[in-house]
Structures are given as structure tokens and as C-alpha cells.
A and B are shown apart, each in its own frame.
Chain A
Amino acid sequence: MPTLIRLEGGRAVIAARDPFAEAPLDGPLPDGPAVLMPLARFQQQGPALLDEGLRIGVLLQPEEAVEDLAYDLPRLSMVALNLPKFRDGRAYSTAALLRQRYAFKGEVRAVGEVLREQAHLLARVGVDAFVFADGTTPEQLEAKLSLYRHVYQAASDARPPAWAERRS
């Protein structure tokens, strides 16, 4: 079982268990109260399953447009962003759009080749749950997130940019 680390109130916490069972593109749905499914499956079955009361997370690949989910976002519990390679920066824009444009309040989870050295950037664009591929611990994640004492730009987090800090 890969470890899921969530950011909760400024702390990094290992989730005791991940409620989301992963569903493949087709075939029977896994049991349980919450399911993570690919976008294509969600587009076919998602709305009906939501009506039945299932909690749903959608897994977005880097080339998939978050705009395709815009309508359903208020009813989604989670969006998972796949980083097939850590160098693929598209998930960062997807996360930024989820938080900044669509004001998505659910969990934004980074999966795939998620590494500690990118974690602070992912957190700033709005990722609040990590499945690390390099065994990063909650303590290491917290250290990484507090490394920069200031930031120059507004992002999806609440950190004031340098220009706002200079005012106070």
C-alpha cells in the first residue's frame, strides 16, 4: 500500500487508510464508499453514481483538460493528478486552475512520480495530498514546505507574496 500523506491544518499527516478504491477504465466497480476513476469512466457513469450517493474522485492525466470536469467539480470529493514523469509540469497548471479558477474545495492529490524536491511547488499550486514515489516522510515534507520563508507570487495557498509582506 503506498503511503498517502495529507496536509491538514499546516501539518503533514499519514492517512490511516485511503477511503478511495481505484476503479479501472471499465469492469466492475470496487466496493466501498469512495471510488477514484479515470476521467473517461467518470464521464460515462459519474453523474449517475454521484446521484446514488457514492463519493467520487477523478484521476486526471496531464493531457486531460480540467475544463471537462468544471461542471461536476462541486460534487467531487477529490481530484487526483497523475505525474507520469516528475518533469512533466502540466499538473501544476491543472492544480492552479482547480483552486484558483474553479475554487475546488475537495482534495487535490498528486500521484505518479511525485518526489520530495517538487513538493513545495505542488503544495503552492494547491495539492494537499501526496503519494510519494521516493518514500518521503511527513517530517521531510514539512521541512520542505517551510524551507522558503517568503514567496514572490500569489498562488493557490494563502501565503502572502513579497509585495504584500512589504506593505505590513
Chain B
Amino acid sequence: MYRYDQIDRDIVADRCAEFRAQVARRLSGELSEDQFKPLRLMNGLYLQLHAYMLRIAIPYGSLNSAKLHRLAHVARTWDRGYGHFTTRTNLQLHWIRLKDAPDILDSLAEVGLHAIQTSGNTIRNITSDPYAGAVADEVDDPRVWTEALRQWSTVHPEFSYLPRKFKIAVTASARDRTAVRVYDIGLKLRRNRDGALGFGVLVGGGLGRTPILGQTIREHLPAQHLLSYVAAILRVYNRHGRRDNIHKARIKVLVQSLGAEEFGRQVEAEWRAMDHAAVDLPDDELARIRGAFGAPAFEARPARSAAFEAAKAADPAFARFARRNVVAHKQAGYALVNIALKTPGEVPGDCSADQMDAIAELAARFSFDEVRLTYAQNLVLPHVALDDVPAVHARLAEIGLATPNLDLASDIIACPGLDYCALANARAIPIAQQIAARFADPELAEDVGELKIKISGCINACGHHHVGHIGILGVDKRGEEFYQLTLGGEADGDAAGDRSRLGDLLGPALPYARVAEAVEAVVGAYRRARAPGERFVDTYARVGLQPFKEAVYADAHPA
């Protein structure tokens, strides 16, 4: 794991000092709210319905126990004892007072955490594969490049006042776990026929009110030119992106209006005119960063663990957990253990300070001091010896986080919605809770199989509903909460290639009270129509909307 050196620490400390002074200028009235707002946003502070929300960056979703303990401490000391993990691998605290923010940031900085550029029209926290460094199918460690981007984009003098927010994701395996096509820039590490490392560069993806998947503008950018090429994209966008209408200001609108080909041509022209050596990292710095991501000191272990097998045989709950939440590791005798923050009845992505402390202890003891965040608002212990998985499971069960529902119907992504968010049309959290309750029976959930339900409380799509197998969007109808369902969205790929697509609208929006039963009806239709072994999305692709429409609207609209 990358550890901050003195330079990294100084930059975060100086940023904290800068923001403390800015808060003081705001509190004294020297700065107007209009002048202060972009400054607080680029330091992670939002004004929400009830209080300030602080969004803390977890670069490429990677934490160690010291950081996680500190997050727990901050949640306990300055918030209400819990935090909310987001789809962009940030942690949000929803009950913050402005005057406390500088102290919180100082406390975070002590362990190398910060909230720099987690909001505002800036280059945001960069996401990457939560399984990085632990799975066999990656062509290179994406964290090396993500860390290079993190440094380059931090307090970037030219790109701190962009037309709109800007999100970058890096993935290095064919099985994409970052939803790379819904980012402003998606970077896919790959090797070309000669074995040279490079990036497939996608631009203009995004959800929100005009959902669109990113398009490739460069098939194979030599890896060492990553920063200069990204700088060229940002410069074209910074100069030509629309600033007259907030809803048309994302890069996807520029890419659409120019066409991906013309946009790519402008980027290439800009890039060719740039002094690459000034921007791109030299080999020695890349090697320094790469050194920080070396493999942990794995022990030689047999591929099969007697203790793991015995626990499976003895305990059906553990066997189910092992089936659902434990993933094969590239190192023999180890596994990745997914911790779903999706206990039915709880808020998706929420984690109490006590749970954070307990997970931090598990990471220190059993996972080489590493924890990862996933885009599905879950956590991962990336390097657990199979022999230790039963002990990890037992502890997770004690803290209420052993639900064996990874990628199942109750593993729901939901944005904060109307419970917290000032922009929301409708609640998302209780909808998630109601649906999860209907699939709380693990037998049923496993029988239904992989089903990714994603809920957003408004068109801004923080819950990524467009790429949900079942997407749910809160809309406002004459002051009442209604919900649109979409089916068949996907943000993943597999070894066979990219499968991402946007979901299709099922039909008229449904009132709050009917959403959970509608989802149940959709699942019922799937179970009737599916071929053996077919996932929900595959059945949907084969049979289309009609059977699902009938199942949901039959009673409401008698012929």
C-alpha cells in the first residue's frame, strides 16, 4: 500500500491550513457564501437537508487499519457514530458542523486521509479495482497508475475550476469491477500484441439525466504517457465544455456534440503539442510508486485448506458465506473476503464506528492490514488465508456483517435520497430496506441468483440506477414520491468482453407503496421465464420487457 512521504504529508497539511483560514474568513463574513461555496466543496463539504455533509476521499478505495480506525474515531467524535460508504469509494459523514470541519480534516491528515476534491468542479477522487493486486486476471496493478493520477490531479492549477465535476476510473482486468464506462474518463489497462502496456481511453461516460456510456478515443495509449494524455483531455474540456447550463456542462455533452471522433482528434492535436516530459512521470518515480504496491509477504500454503473445508461441512451458514462472499485469490491458499454492508433492514453502505473498528482489527490480523471499498458500497478484505476465513466469518457475524448476499437481490446500491439529500425527489433507503426484507431468506436470494438492484433518489443518479439489473429512480409527481423502474442495465464486463448497457424503462412510474412488490413481481416473472443457469439480465436480454410488464402492471391496469 502506498504510504505518504513527507512531501505528500506536507501537501495535505498545507491544504488543511488553507481551508482552516478559508473557514475563518467565511465565519467572519469576509468571504461571501457565493465565494466560499466552491472552496468548501473542493474540500468535501456539502450543505444538505439537516447539516453539512463531509465526503472523505478513499483513493482507489484502499484503506489500512490505522485509517479505518481514524474514520471510526471521527464518526464517533464529530458525527453520530456511523458513516456511509458511497459508490465512488468515498465515506460520507452526514451530521457535521462547519466550525468542526478544520479539526476533522487535521485529524484525518494525521493518518494520510483528506477530503480534497471530493466535490466541486474538480478532478474527483479516482476509483479503481477493489480486487487490485489480489486476482490473477489483471494485466498490471492499476493502483500504480491511479496513485500517479491522484498526485497529478491534486490541487491542479489549471483544472480546479472545470465546467463541472470530473471522475476518472482505472481498471486492469477484463472483468471490470469499476463500471469504467460510466466515468468521464475510463482507463482500461491492457497489453498490445507486442506485450507493451497501454491504456484504452474512454471518454464521456456518465449517468445523470442524460445517461451515456463512454466511447473509446484511443485504443492503446503507451502507459508512460497517461498523465499528459489525460491533461490534454482535460484542457480540451476545460476550454470548450459548456458553462452556460449546469445540466449540459459534463464532458459527455461536449463529446456528444462534437462526436467522439472529432473530440478525439482535438485531444490528439492538443496532446501532440504538449511537452510530454514536463507532465509524464519519469520511470524512477513510477518505479518508486510501484514499489509501494508490492505483494504482501504471503506464506506458502496449500491451495486447499482443511480448516476451511471442515467449516463449510459443519456450518451451512458459513458454507453459504463461502459460496457467495469469498472469491479466489491469485495466491494459493488465500482468498478475498467480501463484507456486504447490506444487512437487510440496515441502510446500504452504512457502517457504524464500532463495525469500522472491528473490521480494522480483522484487516490488521488477517489481511495484511488492507481493506478495500467497492463501487457496490461493500468492503473487501483482500488477502485472507483460507485457514483464517472461518475466524473472520465468526467475527463478522458478531458485528452483524456476515450476510452472505454479495451480488444478490438484497445487495442493493442506494443513494442517500430524501432522507439526507437536498436534491432528492424521493426516498431511496427505505425502498432498499423494503426490497431487501423480501429477499432476506437466504435460500430464496440464492435461488434468484445474481441480481443487482440500484436506487437513486433523483435524476442525478448517484445510485447508478441506469446500470442496475433492476434500476429504480425516484421522481416527483405533483409532490408525491413515485418511482420509475428500468430493467436490463449492466456496468460489468467479463472475460468475454464488455457487457455494459443502460436499462430500459419498464412502464409508468409506481407509487412508493408499490415498489417492493413490483420488484418481487419482476423477480417472479424471471423465475418463471429463466432457462437453467441463466442470470436475470440474461433472461431479460432473451425475452425482453413484455413478461415483466405484464407481471407488474397486470393488476393495476386490468384489460
A positions within 8 Å CB-CB of B: 86-90, 92-94, 96, 100-101, 115, 117-118, 120-122, 124-125, 134, 147-155, 162-163, 165-167
Contact = CB atoms under 8 A, between A and B. Distances in A.
B7 A165 contact: yes
Contact of B238 (A87, A90, A167): A90
Given A93-B158, A134-B35, A154-B279, 19 more contacts: A89-B160, A90-B238, A92-B160, A92-B161, A94-B239, A101-B273, A101-B274, A117-B39, A121-B161, A147-B14, A148-B14, A149-B11, A150-B11, A151-B11, A152-B11, A152-B152, A153-B157, A166-B7, A167-B284
Given A147-B17, A152-B155, A155-B158, A88 B243 contact: yes
A92 B238 contact: yes
Nearest to B8: A162
9 tightest Cβ-Cβ pairs between the two chains A and B: A89-B161, A124-B157, A163-B285, A121-B157, A154-B278, A152-B151, A92-B158, A150-B7, A148-B14
A162 B160 contact: no
B152 A153 contact: yes
Interface in B235-276: 235, 238-239, 243, 273-275
A167 B283 CA distance: 12
Given A101-B273, A166-B5, A89 B162 contact: yes
B18 interface: yes
A142 B209 CA distance: 43
A148 B31 CA distance: 21
Contacts of A148: 11, 14-15, 18, 155
A87 B158 contact: no
Contacts of A120: 157
A125 B151 contact: no
Contacts of A149: 10-11, 14
Given A147-B18, A152-B11, A163-B282, A87 B121 contact: yes
In this complex, the member of A86, A122, A147, A148 whose beta carbon has the largest number of chain B beta carbons within 10 angstroms is: A148
Contacts of B158: 89, 92-93, 96, 121, 125, 155
Interface residues of B, number: 41
Nearest to B163: A89
Interface of B: 5, 7-8, 10-11, 14-15, 17-18, 22, 31, 35, 38-39, 121, 151-152, 154-163, 235, 238-239, 243, 273-275, 278-279, 281-282, 284-285, 288
A89 B159 contact: yes
Interface SS of A by simple majority: helix
In this complex, the member of B239, B278, B281 whose beta carbon has the largest number of chain A beta carbons within 10 angstroms is: B239
B22 A117 contact: yes
Nearest to A96: B158
15 contacts: A88-B243, A89-B161, A89-B163, A93-B235, A101-B274, A147-B17, A148-B155, A149-B10, A149-B11, A150-B14, A153-B152, A153-B157, A162-B8, A163-B281, A163-B282
B376 to A, nearest CB: 30
Nearest to A162: B7
B278 A121 contact: no
Given A151-B155, A163-B281, A93 B239 contact: yes
Given A93-B158, A93-B239, A121-B157, A150 B275 contact: no
A118 B239 CA distance: 18
Contacts of A101: 273-274
Contacts of B273: 101
In this complex, the member of A122, A125, A150, A152 whose beta carbon has the largest number of chain B beta carbons within 10 angstroms is: A152
A153 B156 contact: yes
Contacts of B288: 166
A59 B514 CA distance: 60
A38 B216 CA distance: 39
A125 B159 CA distance: 10
A106 to B, nearest CB: 20
